Amino acid sequence: MLKKEKMAGAAFAAALACAGTPAIAAVEWTGVNLAGAEFDSGTFWPNAAEMNYFRAAGMNIVRVPFRWERLQPALNAPLDATQLSALRTVVAAARTAGLSVILDPHNYARYNGNVIGSGAVPRAAFTDFWNRLATAFRDEPHVIFGLMNEPNSMPTEDWLLAANAGIAGIRNAGAQQWILVPGNAWTGAHSWLQNWYGTPNGSVMGGIVDPQNHYAYELHQYFDGDFSGQSSWCNASNGAAQLAAVTQWLRERGKRGFLGEFAGGNNTDCRTAVTNALGYIENNGDVWLGWSWWAAGPQWGDYIFTLEPTNNYTVDRPQMYWLRPYFADDRLFASGFE
């Protein structure tokens, strides 16, 4: 019998093979968005207590949204020392807890409301921002650079140019970590090959240029009627159906994907859709690196999707019970190994 220890990635696949079970690629990262620093007012950076809670629960990654303007109050200027220090504290807390952390400028491809690539926000400013931020964290191997949250309402071709400008800033800083690259149209998995927003992501985003070739595509997917994530209701038939086309697109190109946002309200239909999607991701671990639920954070109160525990981190939210069987670090135990 195998010892009951945390195993992931290649170790997990090897364990299955030794047990006589066909090996499948294992999902590497499963976790949650710790939201707060992306709000217009206040400074709600994640704290060590909630990181310790999610790590103890079995998660191994957190996505940390923040406003670009908070980190860099003026374009092409140094990063704000106070806010950078706060982010460094978050990254250090994640490292201490044993978590990887995604840095996520949560700006929808905009700065002060102006789209990247406009006269007000040249692509060179996006290069500058990422060069400064990557320089600050290039020696933190547990850090992942989430290029931008949900670009939208712009030509997909323009977003590709902006994305490559940001990647150049990261690599020119000497940083070699993973980069997560979203597409246009809120980077919806279901719409990756659709054209209602212009040229489909599937026709354009293959043009990403990364000298390290160390990037994955970040997708988001909600399961309500319009896939916007604004309702506690889900269509129970949703889930894998919204991920299938982009999974095939990624596999054909030898690329990986990461589901950066998904969620569902506390009801049977949403549980069905969510677990259907997670099961699909697990069964396609050759393509999917992992996922992070939207969201947690102490400021959310009774938000329909919150995973923030109650009673001083002692009481789980209902949706945590849906997710536990799919945590990357605990999947070996769920398979019956002792």
Active site positions, annotated? 150, 261
Which residues lie below 8 Å from residue 117, measured CB to CB, with a gap of 6+? 123, 154, 158, 161, 162
Taking CA atoms, 7 is separated from 52, 279, 324, 333, in Å, by: 19, 19, 15, 9
**Residue whose tokens read 């323009």:** 158
Element holding 215 (H helix, E strand): strand 215-220
Rounded CA Rg of the chain: 19
Can you read off the two tokens belonging to residue 127?
A: 């290069």
Distance of CA 177 to the CA centre of its chain: 14
Q: Where are the alpha helices (DSSP H) in the chain?
A: 9-18, 48-57, 68-71, 81-97, 123-137, 156-172, 201-204, 244-253, 268-283, 318-323, 331-334
Q: Are 29 and 18 in contact (CB under 8 A)?
A: no
**Residue 228 burial (CB count, 10 A):** 10
315: which DSSP letter? B
**Residue whose tokens read 């195993």:** 7
3-state secondary structure of 180: strand
Tell me phi and psi for residue 238, to 5 degrees.
Answer: -80, 170
Biggest CA-to-CA distance, the chain: 63
